[in-house]
Structure 1
C-alpha cells in the first residue's frame, strides 16, 4: 500500500475487489461500445491520437494520463489470467475511474465532510501501519526454534488422541438438566449443545478438534486444556459422556468422546511451515506488546 502511495498510483485500489471489478465491467463495457457506435469519427480520432501518446501512457482523460503500470497493477490485482481482453477491460475501468474522480472534484466532493473524515481516517491508518512496520522488530525465528517447538509438541502427546464434543453452561442446575436429558430421554448431544452450550463450539454441535495428552496428566502438558478437563476426557471410552459436570472456573462442562485412535503425529517436514508461521506470529505479538508498553510508560494517560 505504501509503495502505491509513493508512486502516486491513484487507480489500483479501485479494482482490488474482484466482485467490484465484475460489476464495473458490466457497466463500462456497454458505455464504451455505445460511444464507438454513436461517434465513430471521434473514436477514430482518439485511436489516431493514441499513437502520439508518450511511452508508458495508454490513455489520457481530459489531459490526465493513465499509465501502463496502472493497467499492469490492475491486471495483477484482478487475480484473473492475463489476456488482451482483460487488459482492455482494466484500461476502460481505469478511464472510468478517472472520469468519476474528475466529475466528483468538479462538483467539490473533496470538501464534503464525510469525504474529509474518511480521508483523515485513511491517513491515520496508513500512518500507524507505517510506524508499526518500522517500530515493531520481532526476534527472527530460526530453524532451531521451529525444531524445538516440534519436539516439544511431540513430547507432550500421549499414546491416544481424542475427538471430543462439549456442552458448556454457566450453572450447575443447567448442567444437571442437560445430563438428565442425555441419560433418561436419550436426547441428541449435538442438539443439546446448540440449545444450551455457551461455548463458541455450540454452532458445531459442541464438536472440538482432535487432542492428545501424555498420561498421567501433568500441569503444563495439556495442549491448553484446563487440567480437570484433560483428566476427565482421558478416562472416558469412545462414545461415552461424562457422568458428572466438570467445573472449570464458573463454567460447567459436559464432555463426550466422539472418536478415539492412536495418536497420529505428522513429520517435521509436514509441520515446519505451519509451526514457523505460528512462531513468527507470536514473535510479532511480543514485539508489538513491547512497543505498546514503552509508549505507555512515556505517555501521560488519563482515564
Structure 2
C-alpha cells in the first residue's frame, strides 16, 4: 500500500514535461546515477597514486570509482578484497587503453564522437548532482510528504471474504447454509474454487477500484459482519460475499515512503532544471520524422 499510495498521489509527473516524455527521461536519468563520480576523499585530503601501468598513474579516486562500478556480487566481499578486485579492473582498463592508443584507436572519428558524448553525459550527471541531488534535504522530503498527506482525503476500504462457485445454484445453496448458521470461512475452505479458499476466502482490505465493478458494488453496500443474501456474478463465476470490517484508509508512515518521496522530489527538480535550461538555448530537430515525434511528446518545446 505504501508505494501505490504515494505514486497514485503524485503520478510521478514533472512540471513542464508531459507524462510520457518525463517518464522516459526519468528512466534514463536515474539509471545514470550509477555513473556519477564517487568522491573518494575530502577536498583537503591527498589522492595518492596506488599503482602505475606503463608509467600511467592509477589514483585512489579512480580505484573508488571502479569499486562503485563492480558487479553487485562484489558488494559481499570484505573491503580489502573489493579494493583488490577494483584495482585489477583498473589495471585491465589501463592496459588495454594503452594498447588501443598504440593502435591509434583514439584517433578514429568513432572514438572522438564517443568521447564527446561521454563528456556531455558526465557534465549532465555533474550538474544533476550539484543542482538536484545534493540540495535535497531531509526537511524537503518531509515537507513534500506532509503536503501530499494534507491533500489526500481518506478513502473508505473494506475487508471482505468471498466464496467463488461455478453456478448460481451452488452459490444459493451456500447462502442457505450461511442462513442456517454455518461459518463463512469454513465454507470458503470447503467449497470455494478461488485462490483464497485456503485462507477462508479472505481478500484483505481494498478500496474502490481494486475489484471488478459487480463485486465492488455489493461489497461496499454491506455493513461489517454482513454477507450478501444473493449471489454476485462476475467474469470469474458466482460469488458469495461477506464484509468483515470497514474503515478509512490511513497514509503510510513517513519512514516507509521516504525513499520514494525523495525520488519524486528529485524528478520534479530535474524537470524544473531541464525546463529552464531548454529555455536558455535553441533546440532544432532536423530529421522530419524525429521532429514530428519529438514535438508530439514535448509540445512546449
What TM-score results when the alignment is normalised by the length of structure 1? Answer: 0.44
What TM-score results when the alignment is normalised by the length of structure 2? Answer: 0.44
